[in-house]
Structure 1
Amino acid sequence: MENKEIISRLKQLAKLLELHEANPFKVRGYNSAVFHLEKIDTRLAQLDLAELQKLEGVGKGIATAIDEINKTNESQQLNELLSKTPEGLIPLLDVKGAGPKKIRLIWQELGITDGEALLEACKRGEIAKLKGFGDKLQENLKQSLLFTHANVGKLHYSKAEELAEGLLAMLKEKLPQALISLSGELRRKLEVVSLIQVIIGDENPSKVFDQLKNFEALEYNEKISGPFSWRGKLKESATDIEIKLCQKTNFYNVLFKHTGSDKHLSVLVDEGKNLYQIISDHQLTNEKEAYDLVKLPFIEPEMREGTFEFSMAIENKLPELIKYDDLRGILHNHTTYSDGKHTLREMAECCRDMGYEYLGISDHSQIAVYANGLDEDRILQQHTEIDQLNKEMAPFKIFKGIESDILYEGQLDYPDDVLKTFDFIVASIHSQLNMDINQATNRLLTAIANPYTTMLGHPTGRLLLKREGYPIDHKTVIDACAEYGVIIEINANPWRLDLDWRWVHYALEKNVMLSINPDAHDKSAYGMMQYGIHVGRKGGLNKEMTFNALSLEKVEEHFNKRKELAAEKIK
């Protein structure tokens, strides 16, 4: 069993123990163990009981629990807690706006055991009357439940991509004669995917349809399927899939029609006709021909959203989109100095070995106590280590950064004499997220105007499929970044993907540079950069406007100029 799965069970144990009013010290012990275990590389499944007890934050009781999971793939304690917990309460333990203690009170006082009943109680105003709740908490809980309900069955792009790659590999192995491609939301690389869609072109599509029914990995749903639309699920993950079947000669027509959004396909492009109508009268041998028919340049699949792509194509201004190989460095990363899993040296060596020229370290600032934010003494310690590593690893360069919390009034964490010691500063909001659009926008504007702010981190603070971001006036924020020369981050973590792709084009119109950052808390997270690339490409981002596609020399020059300007303004 992988560490992630073991830790997930420990997290669930902690929540259920708290739900059932176990000793608070025991609950705290499990939460502390989870915090420390998420930072280690050692495979827990390979450790015996004695070795587990030596791990930081893991006492005898928790070591015994992990050892039982390692040996049996089960936890008797967890099973006992689950057996006396109504099944519908389990997902409520993860709903934003409440915790195990409040869920217990709702359960005991009102007899509520599932999300639907809880939502109805919120609508009737019953939750606000409970001790310790009130109207505000009830409204937050209601909004969280509505958000969760609206996203049932949806997947982060990264997870959908993983499942789709396995599906494609299986289909290509079993149907080597067929033409096969992803389509729809996945092919356009949307941040959230509701359905995995595939196109199969074959000489005998009816035969392939029948073959699909017998593939062990697939579960056929006859009720919602049609003659050439096979619908069902991937058995292992219960993920919805749709497979469109067609003749090989029609493959590219069907692929084109089921890749672009409805808005893209319905744009009028030639004598009152849209692309959908035009290609219906022609047999395509590739997708480029669809655009050739209306004398337009090829539009990449991820851009086919019906937003700005046609106006750019008509003016022959479609950009050469950013590619993974264009990136020269990785900015916004965390180490064991704050809440990262790997040391500064480990993060730097991995970055260098991947072929990058530079790394930006930006651990959490001091107010982020929950993330072991750096006080001034540890900043000095980290900067000394960076200086030593830069001598050792040259020409590779580590830049001294910090992810400075934007405080409630918009100030940056740390006084100016500390801020000036960094090469760059990523300014981000992590706390007091319950703001209206004016509060959130003004908070960001104050931070953007601070001369020490180099880059705005994850502008809305959203966690896809978990919580909505705080509302901001995107245009006003982007305009301010343009005015003050602040870079905007595209946070490449698949849970964030923030700045949203829908605002990338506007940022580019305002000449605001974007930086694709992984917000990496361990070495493996460098791989998330690809998801940030997708966001940039959807918004029309090119190499020239991508900050971390600049050379080491250009990046260093930019940071130095910003520091000089900040010093002048502070005088």
Structure 2
Amino acid sequence: MELQGEKSFKTKTIANAALAIGKLPFDVATKSLEELAAVKVIGKSVAAKVREIVETGTMKELEALLAETPPGVVEIMSIKGLGPKKVLVIWKELGIENIGELFYACNENRLMEAKGFGLKTQEDIRKSIEFKMANSGRFLYAHVHGFAKGLLSGLREIAGTELISFTGAFRRKAEIVDGLDILIGAPVLEEVVSWIESSEDLQLVERKDDVLTAESGSGVKVYIRFCTAEAYFKELVLQTGSAEHLEELSSRVKEVPSVIASEEEYYRAAGLPFIEPELREGVFEFSLAEKNALPQLICYEDLKGTLHNHSTWSDGASSLEEMARFCRDEMKIEYLGICDHSKSAFYAKGLSEERVLAQHAEIDALNAKLSPFKIFKGIESDILFDGSLDYPVEILSQFDFIVASIHSVFKMSEEKATSRLIKAIENPYTTILGHPTGRLLLSRSGYPVDIPKVIDACAANGVVIEINANPLRLDIDWRWHQYAIEKGVMLSVNPDAHSVRGFNDIHYGIIAARKGGVAAENCLNALNLTEISAFFESRRAHENTHHTI
């Protein structure tokens, strides 16, 4: 009611009545309308509503209010610490309509500047959402990575063997995992059992045969399996691949020696080169392997710069100079592409035309100061509902590069969403297509898009596709990377960083790229400063040609 602007007197009356009804010494369902109306804390108006609920299971007034409120906004009200007033700000002022968008906004530091919020409130909300997500039993790879790394290190020390590894989805670095699987090449070790039982982070749930099941305080299930040292590498293969991968692999294996010294031996027995764990999904790896075309997968060290990053000019938490110095001094890379939000993103302090020019002046000054390191002048331009970009040509032409992304009006048919993206792709000023589906893992499906058509349009227009490295996005999905590569489309691993800490997300983007079979030669920001400067210059020539025409 408060969300829909009902008078405070009415909402307080309903709230007080609800509280009072919960304390009554009788079941209201057993009372007539007249009997309920006679109860002082209920009254005639509320009594009618109670009887309507008892008789129909719902209330027309409630249904009408729910019809006007996005379901995700109602769910946001379940987050600890969020009352109607704060939810109203989140919904109406920030344009956030579900928990996934709220979590993403917390990670972008967008909440702390809203009325009635601050850094502590934002952090409390973020932690509450993480707790809620954990209760679903599914986890983002990024959210369990730190815990997993410490767990394996502790187990390796206790077990006293190097024959220990993650298996399953976590070893394949799937974007979402249901738990952690670990294989140890030794008989069940009582030292491991005792270590788990004495751990503050783990609770032993079950011990059955050669499997220990434990659970972390945050709800992560851990399955520790034991095997003989002789069977270790064979089991490592069989416990790592997806069902589809293992089915195809078994059809190719003629005979595997009873004891093998490496996973490579198993793949040789199938007449195949070694397939990296990330690729073992049964999607495209066998077709590449049998042609001896498995790529040298990209790694973090291949990157020479970072594109699509935000600063305090829009909704970032670090200044432009802080972002640049971190890239130069800590990451040891050659360039930074700054892409603050465009003017339509009012909720993120999007840049007006005047502020764009002012930011460019600061970039010029910093480039002189930090040379040979370079900041490229970019913008994350909203793709408007009709597919156009957010500024007139006079402003678009001032940028070195443009990331075009959808940030609003997600409810579209596949035809509308696809045509909207393609129109933006065909704009000669678009350099990179940002987070193409708009998905937020574990919380919001992407808008329906004909991905092959979008990739084909990028190929036809020389537009790069982003692999958004934010672990909530990892968009475009790795399953489409090979199609893009086959079409000659470059990909760009972009952290979408909103602070210097956000640059760490590049690691998750690299993981996604590796799962998609991306090599350094397929990645835009693996180009060095000279190469990417030439690339941007060629795109600017393309822009000028089209603008002249």
TM-score interval, normalised by the smaller of the two chains: 0.7 to 0.9
Structure 1 counterpart of 2:211: 229
Q: Of residues 255, 260, 271 in structure 1, which corresponds to 2:236?
A: 255
Could you tell me how far apart the structure 2 residues matched to 1:187 and 1:427 are? 33
Could you tell me how far apart the structure 2 residues matched to 1:168 and 1:209 are? 12
Cα 1:292–1:388, aligned 2, differ >3 Å: closer, same or farther? same
Q: Deviations over 1:242-283 (max 9, x none)?
A: 1111111211111111111111111056xxx345x854x532
Q: CA deviation at 1:385?
A: 0.7
SS in 1 for 2:170: helix
Could you tell me how far apart the structure 1 residues matched to 2:133 and 2:376 are? 43
Q: Deviations over 1:405-434 (max 9, x none)?
A: 000010100111110000000000001111
Could you tell me how far apart the structure 1 residues matched to 2:365 and 2:156 are? 51
User: Following superposition of structure 1 onto structure 2, how do residues 129-528 of structure 1 map, counting pairs within 5 Å?
Assistant: 130-134=63-67, 137=70, 152-177=136-161, 179-202=163-186, 204-205=187-188, 207=190, 210-211=193-194, 214-216=197-199, 217-222=201-206, 225-234=207-216, 236-267=217-248, 273-275=251-253, 278-279=255-256, 282-353=258-329, 354-528=331-505
Could you tell me how far apart the structure 2 residues matched to 1:210 and 1:191 are? 29
Q: Deviations over 1:87-113 (max 9, x none)?
A: xxxxxxxxxxxxxxxxxxxxx9999xx
Cα 1:519–1:254, aligned 2, differ >3 Å: closer, same or farther? same
Q: Deviations over 1:437-487 (max 9, x none)?
A: 111111101100000000000011111112111111110100100000000
User: Following superposition of structure 1 onto structure 2, how do residues 551-570 of structure 1 map, counting pairs within 5 Å?
Assistant: 551-570=528-547
Cα 1:412–1:322, aligned 2, differ >3 Å: closer, same or farther? same
Cα 1:313–1:164, aligned 2, differ >3 Å: closer, same or farther? same
Could you tell me how far apart the structure 2 residues matched to 1:357 and 1:261 are? 38
Could you tell me how far apart the structure 1 residues matched to 2:528 and 2:313 are? 27
Could you tell me how far apart the structure 2 residues matched to 1:324 and 1:138 are? 40
SS in 1 for 2:336: strand
TM-score by length of 2: 0.77
Contact 1:151 1:465 in 2 (8 A): no
Contact 1:205 1:247 in 2 (8 A): no
Instruction: Note the residue ranges of structure 1 that are not aligned, 5 or more in a row.
Output: 1-16, 24-82, 87-107, 112-120
Q: Deviations over 1:24-45 (max 9, x none)?
A: xxxxxxxxxxxxxxxxxxxxxx
Q: CA deviation at 1:294?
A: 2.2
Could you tell me how far apart the structure 2 residues matched to 1:492 and 1:470 are? 19
SS in 2 for 1:284: coil
Q: CA deviation at 1:205?
A: 2.3
Which residue type is aligned with residue 412 of structure 1? L
Contact 2:252 2:270 in 1 (8 A): no
Q: CA deviation at 1:136?
A: 8.9
Q: CA deviation at 1:564?
A: 1.5
Q: Deviations over 1:391-412 (max 9, x none)?
A: 1111111100000000001010
Which residue type is aligned with residue 227 of structure 2? C
Contact 2:134 2:218 in 1 (8 A): no
Structure 1 segments, 4+ long, off by >4 Å, are: 108-111, 124-129, 135-145, 148-151
Which residue type is aligned with residue 218 of structure 2? S
Could you tell me how far apart the structure 1 residues matched to 2:294 and 2:150 are? 33
Could you tell me how far apart the structure 2 residues matched to 1:308 and 1:256 are? 18
Could you tell me how far apart the structure 2 residues matched to 1:22 and 1:300 are? 62
Cα 1:552–1:306, aligned 2, differ >3 Å: closer, same or farther? same
Contact 1:263 1:305 in 2 (8 A): yes
SS in 2 for 1:283: coil
Contact 1:209 1:245 in 2 (8 A): no
Q: CA deviation at 1:137?
A: 4.4
Cα 1:212–1:200, aligned 2, differ >3 Å: closer, same or farther? farther
Cα 1:126–1:308, aligned 2, differ >3 Å: closer, same or farther? farther
Could you tell me how far apart the structure 1 residues matched to 2:298 and 2:397 are? 32
User: Following superposition of structure 1 onto structure 2, how do residues 50-89 of structure 1 map, counting pairs within 5 Å?
Assistant: none
Could you tell me how far apart the structure 1 residues matched to 2:524 and 2:508 are? 16
Could you tell me how far apart the structure 2 residues matched to 1:565 and 1:531 are? 32
SS in 1 for 2:545: helix
Q: Deviations over 1:504-535 (max 9, x none)?
A: 11111111000000000000111111111111
Could you tell me how far apart the structure 2 residues matched to 1:521 and 1:428 are? 16
Structure 1 counterpart of 2:506: 529
Q: CA deviation at 1:150?
A: 12
Could you tell me how far apart the structure 2 residues matched to 1:177 and 1:567 are? 62
What is the percent sequence identity of the aligned residues?
45
Supply the RMSD in Å over aligned alpha carbons: 3.2
Q: CA deviation at 1:305?
A: 0.5
SS in 1 for 2:227: strand
Could you tell me how far apart the structure 2 residues matched to 1:351 and 1:267 are? 43
Cα 1:139–1:491, aligned 2, differ >3 Å: closer, same or farther? closer
TM-score by length of 1: 0.74
User: Following superposition of structure 1 onto structure 2, how do residues 38-57 of structure 1 map, counting pairs within 5 Å?
Assistant: none
Larger Rg: 2
Q: CA deviation at 1:331?
A: 0.3
Cα 1:290–1:519, aligned 2, differ >3 Å: closer, same or farther? same
Cα 1:567–1:520, aligned 2, differ >3 Å: closer, same or farther? same
How many correspondences in the alignment?
453
Q: CA deviation at 1:18?
A: 8.2
Contact 2:252 2:271 in 1 (8 A): no
SS in 2 for 1:331: strand
Q: Deviations over 1:274-297 (max 9, x none)?
A: 45x854x53221111111112311
Q: CA deviation at 1:181?
A: 0.7
Could you tell me how far apart the structure 1 residues matched to 2:474 and 2:440 are? 9
SS in 2 for 1:471: coil
Could you tell me how far apart the structure 1 residues matched to 2:311 and 2:177 are? 31
Cα 1:247–1:566, aligned 2, differ >3 Å: closer, same or farther? same
Could you tell me how far apart the structure 2 residues matched to 1:166 and 1:319 are? 30
Cα 1:196–1:268, aligned 2, differ >3 Å: closer, same or farther? closer
Q: Deviations over 1:101-142 (max 9, x none)?
A: xxxxxxx9999xxxxxxxxx9xx9978962333399469979
